[in-house]
Amino acid sequence: MSDGPVLVLSGDLDVRSTMEVRTAVRDLLGSYDEVAIDLSGVESADVTALRVLAAATLQAIRDGHHLTLRQPSPAVRRMLHMSHLARIVEVAPPAAGVG
């Protein structure tokens, strides 16, 4: 559970959206110690976009902040594992009754 804001993403998360996502995450982490990214509406994600989330996670840790991903679809979760980025990002466990 995050005590800070939740950035809700939807649609396709790919190279075309990386700059916008990077900026939004950076801005939130500049103002809050805890940020969650809700991926429940993300239909697909490419490795480039997931690398942005991994880089944001590492930067958050270096800055003493915390970034958590929530509710990735099975396709996004699979891509996180295939790319080995699941080792870097934190994915929150499903909420009770969600799954």
Domain edges within the chain:
6-87
Backbone angles phi, psi at 40, to 5 degrees: -60, -25
Distance CA(75)–CA(93), nearest Å, equals 16
pLDDT for the residue numbered 94: 81
pLDDT for the residue numbered 75: 92
Span 20-46, pLDDT tens digits: 999 999 999 999 999 999 999 999 999
pLDDT for the residue numbered 97: 58
| List of the chain residues with pLDDT < 50 | 1
Return all residues near 46 (Cβ < 8 A) that are at least 6 apart: 13, 14, 15, 79
Distance CA(32)–CA(37), nearest Å, equals 13
pLDDT for the residue numbered 10: 95
pLDDT for the residue numbered 38: 97
Distance CA(46)–CA(12), nearest Å, equals 8
Architecture of the domain defined by 6-87: 2-Layer Sandwich (3.30)
